[in-house]
Structure 1
Amino acid sequence: MPRSEIDAKYRALVDEVEATMSDPGGAAVLARNLQDLPELLAGLDRKTPEIGPIEVLVDRGGRLVGQNAAAEQRLGLMLGDRLQDIAMSPQAAQRFLVNRDKGAVPLLVADPAGGRILLFGQQPADADSPMLLTEVQRGIDAAIRARLADAAGLAASERQLLKGLMQGQSVQGIARELGRTEGTVRQQLKSIMAKMGVNSQQQLISSAYALTLMYRQTGSVPAETSPRLQGATLHNGRHGVVARHDFGLPDGVPVLFFHGALFGITAVPGMIAAAQTLGLRLIAPERPGYGHTVLGDHQDPVALAVQQAVDLLDTLCLSKVVVLAHDIGTRFAARLALDAPDRVAAVIAAPATPPMQTWSQTADMPTRHRVNAWASQHLPGLMDKIVALGLSQIARAGVEEIPRLVFDGCDFDQAILRQDGAAAVLQEAFELAWAQRGAGFRADMRLTNENWQDEADRINVPFLCLHGEESRTVSRNAVEDLARTLPKGRFRLVEAAGHSLPVSHTALILRAALAAANAAGLERDEFGFRDHS
């Protein structure tokens, strides 16, 4: 289904929810009306199998003696049928039969679904053995395409366009698939050609294929780029396997980092360098349902994450740490501070995600955010479908979809996340979520809309709540209320920041962690200036 069609159906679903969410009986009304969107909802659970290229075996007379699933599905031939019967012309079939003994030979056949399929075969050493013909697929290896894009300095949106071109798609088809105007796609095509130093689309494609041939001739086709998540250390602890990322100084001030749903872990621009400069040691476990850390059916992600965090601190012989949290990580940090206050020197929630106490908290949110909040509270099954739809769109169209899908109606945050430095953040965040097909992300969407205010007034550790002045996804009043409820809570408004402040204000957040550590006496006296008298 083209992205534009998915978007249209998704908007219809959003409109349906919006029209009923102010009605006390809205959930029942919506449930009855969901029958109008069966294709969208059913389609989310269907996965299109990857059947690969066509492969067929033909005897000397051109009769089919073997075929794989792709050939059976797409060509519609039975064993014993003649391959030349679907050749594009009798002359092509005759040339195939005559030339097959002379070595490698191509054959163009008709695709029953429309179009043409190019097959390539080579006669085995034994002339009486069947010949294997394999479909010549459009496109080049993803790893080679990535190397080419890196060499030319292509932006994420340009890489998507290059992929479509290599697969033989037209500009119109690419525009439909990616949900862009043809004019935008043509402008991006011009940018790609300029960066690669070519004057036409034909030169662009021939250069890419020439690069593929050179890689293959040297026998050095690059492997797929290893995902960032493989850099994690796997800890087999008392509560299952937990993936952990460590950065900063190995002997620095200890900071336990609960990542959020949107901003990754180590890819935030300047995060690693700032941690090293400030003398921090960040320990960042992948939360349950993200990356390598499994969230089992019916497990409580908050309780499990807290148990795993305490186990990690015990293993690392860390008695007390500052806890840093991005967005929904606030909930996890708060529970750790409640259950193990002796292990937490302070909490820095940046940005803070407060409890969802009343529907009025959503009043200033964009429509999609209000829809998500309502659906999460009233129809959690539907909310899972909405989240699954968004993740599948990102998987298909690329991480540049995240600002549009997640921050629709939030121009400030979209602008921050469309900056060049944010691309790696979006990629890492998606890799973390998609590794378990959104299990942790979907759980986070439910947690975001739960009321845990009763826990807040029992948390007796310093708790700093940061909130971006331009944020529209979280209620400032709710964050201020959380800070007032916390016995040692503090609120700080960050100017020129939105909900994306982990990306825009990385150093500020880490400075807050350092200040909290210093106040708690965790900062070591590296140069001997502390008065020990």
Structure 2
Amino acid sequence: MTATPQGKANISLVVEALYAVAAEPDRWDQLVEALGGASADGAAQADGAARIAGTVPERADPAAATQAGVVLIGPSGGAIAWNAGGAAAFQQRLGLVEARGLRFFNPANHEALDAARRRLRETAGGQVIVKFTQADDEAPHFAYVIPARALPTALAADLPPLGELGEGVVAVLFPAVETTDRLWATMRDSFGLTPAETRVAARLKDGLTLKEAADDLAISVNTVRNQLRAVFDKMGLNRQSKLVRALTQLGSLSDAFGQEAPAAAISATERGALATAPPIRFFQLSDGRRLAWRDYGDPQGRPVLVFHQGLGCSVLPRGSDVLARDLGLRLIAPERPGAGRSDPRSNFSVQGVGRDMAELAGGLGLGRVRIAAFMSGAAFALMAAAELGAGVDRVLLASVRPSGQMVETEHDAGHPGVLFRRRILRNAWLADTLFALMRMQLNRRGIERFVRAAASAPSDAAYLAAHPGVMDFIVDYIGESLAVTHRGIADEVRCAARSPDLDLSGLSAPISVWHGADDAMTSVDQVKAWLGGRAAETRVFAGTGHFLPHKHWPEVLGWLAEE
């Protein structure tokens, strides 16, 4: 799997391409072409990835979806009781109901629910509307959050007696899909709809077309369109069908209680991960350098060391703090030397970085830890695990990028992101210049083009299209990784190009490998070969490529929380 070292690309072409990137960063594809140099040698790697089916949560009885669903949440965030409708509505659309809490498929939903509970406490309000994001088609799903003691008697069947519930227990009410019209006052208050916008939404919910709504209201179709656009913006929707679905869901519960909602609804979102992340912390190593790190989840929870990808930092997907806390995890997310806010390392090596991370774990008194690593963070995670030895319980490697140069094949031609990695490793002498330019000329347009090119597998492109908030996360993530210097990523490229042998003699923890079946960068067979047969478990995700760590982030944390 390791390529024979090849000659450097034509220097004049590369310099010309670097100037093009400096002038306009989103022209990076010119650099990829210039880095091509000599044609790759060697036969194409066989595409023989074994597809291992993951466990699929058992679905609740579909018939129960016709009932209004209720899930009771205790003060600590755990689900303490639920009825059949609650289990059905949640499991068919949003995630898993567990005794220790709700495990949403989309971790941003954890943050939205946590914000709703906090608003109830702070305002002593009667109810809060929350817009959750669903698992499959990403259509929104609305629910009410109310104090459990305010739950109407008609909805309390099959639940513990309300009078016996302690303080701080809230009820999450998932509507049955049936129609009623008594929700407009709550809609106006929660989403800030004007009376005119409310009238338009009501007509569309009743099945009228835009023209029919305009005729009924005696206004122009253009006015209806403008009002509908305002409704979409305020409710976080983008299609008329989703609006009708949301109003139908809310309508099925609006008669259950006659209280007014707070002034604004809470929506789950993946945007703003950097702004809502825990504060950056610093740990001073024995040689005087500082490692930057963030602390997510339960401070007393099971400790996990999280190793970011190459062009990465300590910012985790939005909702991770609440999800980790609910699962009893403490996520320690350090930034490698020269990345984010961490000081560079003069003698950068996989072994040296592994020792830094082991020193961090010891200095924080973490005790026995678990390790999760993504993409090119895998090599550093393995070395840290070897340094910590018996102090590591288990290791998860997702979307692994093996160190060392790899043969460029015909298959790579359709994947610009793959070509970029192959060629920059082959010409690692350019890493300093390239990433210095990237840092100086960093802009959203250039990052977006780079990311979309990396999403060359159809499943990746579809995931980005369905999750626009992920792009915001990546833009923040890359910007933060280059906030101080480009040294970290440049050092990692040069280190990977040297194809260092990993001394894993001290590693005793079992290694689990998760890989996307559509991952164009590496196959799972190449990953297993790089690990030298050390993988104790391999799981391949169908319909998943480059974005496996983000797409399956809640499953990653669920796996790390397992006993």
1:96-495 paired onto structure 2 within 5 Å: 231-239=279-287, 240-262=289-311, 264-296=313-345, 298-356=346-404, 358-359=406-407, 363-364=411-412, 366-395=414-443, 397=445, 399-404=447-452, 407=454, 409-417=456-464, 419-452=467-500, 455=503, 459-483=507-531, 485-487=532-534, 489-495=536-542
Q: Equivalent residue for 1:507?
A: 554
Q: Secondary structure at the match of 2:399?
A: strand
Secondary structure in structure 2 of the residue aligned to 1:328: helix
Could you list the structure 1 runs, at least 4 aligned residues long, displaced by more than 6 angstroms after superposition.
1-5, 225-230
Is 2:517–2:545's contact at 8 Å kept on the other side of the alignment? yes
Residues 1:309 and 1:410: Cα distance change in structure 2 (over 3 Å): same
Q: How many residues align?
A: 322
Cα distance in 2 for partners of 1:332, 1:409 equals: 27
- Bigger CA radius of gyration: 1
1: CA distance, partners of 2:456 / 2:408: 18
Say which is worse superposed, 234-243 or 363-372, in terms of deviation: 363-372
Code of the residue aligned with 1:346 in structure 2: it is R
Equivalences for 1:24-43 in 2 at 5 Å? none
Kept in 2, the 8 Å contact 1:268–1:424? The answer is no
Unaligned runs of 5+ in 1: 25-150, 153-190, 197-224, 519-533
Q: Which amino acid aligns with 1:512?
A: W
Alpha-carbon distance in structure 2 between the residues aligned to 1:8 and 1:241:
33
- How many Å separate the matches in 2 of 1:15 and 1:489? 39
Cα displacement (A) at 1:245: 0.5
- Alignment deviations for residues 44-97 of structure 1 (CA, whole Å, 9 cap, x no partner): xxxxxxxxxxxxxxxxxxxxxxxxxxxxxxxxxxxxxxxxxxxxxxxxxxxxxx
Contact preservation (8 Å) 1:468, 1:494: yes
SS of residue paired to 2:385: helix
Counterpart residue identity of residue 232, structure 1: I
**Relative to total residues, which structure has the larger helix share, 1 or 2?**
1
Match of 1:112 in 2: none
Partner of residue 32 from structure 2, selected from 10, 14, 25 = 14
Q: How far, CA to CA, are the matches of 1:477 and 1:254 in structure 2?
A: 30
Give the SS at the match of 1:319.
Answer: coil
Give the match's secondary structure for 2:543. coil
Name the SS of the counterpart of 1:492 in structure 2: strand
Q: CA deviation at 1:342?
A: 2.3
Where does structure 2 lack aligned partners over 5 or more consecutive residues? Answer: 1-18, 43-190, 193-228, 235-272
Q: Is the 8 A contact 1:353 1:479 kept in 2?
A: yes
Instruction: Tell me the SS of whatever aligns to 1:489.
Output: strand
In structure 2, relative to structure 1, the CA distance for the partners of 1:229 and 1:387 (3 Å cut) is farther
Amino acid at match of 1:311: E
The amino acid that maps onto 2:546 is: H
- Mapped contact 2:21–2:437 kept (Cα < 8 A): no
How many angstroms does 1:492 deviate by? 1.1
Distance (whole Å) between structure 1 residues aligned to residue 307 and residue 317 of structure 2 = 14
Further displaced range: 352-361 or 473-482: 352-361
Single out whichever of 426-435 and 262-271 deviates more from structure 2.
Answer: 262-271
Contact persistence 2:516–2:545 (CA under 8 A): yes
How far apart are the structure 1 equivalents of 2:292 and 2:299?
18
Contact 1:321 1:343 in 2 (8 A): yes
Shift, 1:244, TM fit? 1.6
User: What's the CA shift for 1:370?
Assistant: 4.8
Compute the displacement of 1:313 (Å). 2.0
CA distance in 2, matches of 1:489, 1:362: 32
Give the 5 Å matches for 1:42-57: none
Q: Tell me, what secondary structure is at the counterpart of 1:291?
A: coil
- Once residues 228 and 402 of structure 1 are traced to their aligned partners in structure 2, the CA distance between those partners, rounded to angstroms, is 25
305 and 362 in structure 1: CA distance in 2 versus 1, 3 angstrom threshold: farther
Residue aligned with 1:400, SS: helix
Give the C-alpha shift of residue 476 in structure 1. Answer: 2.6
**Residue in structure 1 matched with residue 174 of structure 2 by the alignment:** none
* Cα distance per residue 1:98-126 (max 9 Å; x no partner): xxxxxxxxxxxxxxxxxxxxxxxxxxxxx
CA distance in 1, matches of 2:326, 2:500: 36
CA distance in 2, matches of 1:313, 1:5: 43
* SS of corresponding position for 2:443: helix
Cα distance in 2, alignment partners of residues 266 and 9 from structure 1: 27
Distance 1:248 1:363 in 2: 41
Q: Distance in 2 between matches of 1:410 and 1:279?
A: 35
**Residues in 2 aligned to 1:368 and 1:352: alpha-carbon distance in whole angstroms:** 18
The Cα shift of 1:308 comes to 2.6
Spell out, residue by residue over 1:150-184, the C-alpha distance to the aligned partner (whole angstroms, 9 max, x if none): x99xxxxxxxxxxxxxxxxxxxxxxxxxxxxxxxx
Q: CA deviation at 1:331?
A: 0.9
C-alpha deviation, 1:477, in angstroms: 2.1
Quick check: 2:370–2:395 contact (8 Å CA) kept in 1? yes
CA contact (8 A) 1:413 1:500 kept: yes
**Counterpart contact for 1:265–1:428, Cα < 8 Å:** no
In 1, distance between residues paired with 2:20 and 2:500?
40
Residue in 2 that maps onto 1:87: none
| Cα distance in 1 between the residues matched to 2:535 and 2:420 | 31
Pairwise CA RMSD = 3.8
1:403, 1:414 within 8 Å by CA — same for their partners in 2?
Answer: no
- State the Cα distance separating 1:388 from its structure 2 match: 4.1
Q: Which moved more, 1:469-478 or 1:499-508?
A: 469-478
Q: CA deviation at 1:401?
A: 3.6
Residue in 2 aligned with 1:161? none
The one-letter amino acid of 1:502's match is P
Alpha-carbon shift at residue 410 of structure 1 (Å) = 3.5
CA distance in 2, matches of 1:488, 1:408: 27
Closer, same or farther: CA 257–237 of 1 in aligned 2, 3 Å: same
Displacement, 1:500?
1.1
1:413 shift after superposition: 2.5
SS in 2 for 1:20: coil
- Kindly state the Cα deviation for residue 512 of structure 1 after the two structures are TM-superposed: 2.0
Q: Which amino acid aligns with 2:483?
A: A
Q: Does structure 2 conserve the Cα–Cα contact (< 8 Å) formed by 1:257 and 1:282?
A: yes
Alpha-carbon offset, residue 449 of structure 1: 4.4
Q: Residues 513 and 538 of structure 2 are in contact (CA less than 8 Å); yes or no, is this contact kept in structure 1?
A: yes
Please tell me whether the aligned partners of residues 309 and 375 of structure 2 are also in contact (alpha carbons under 8 angstroms): yes
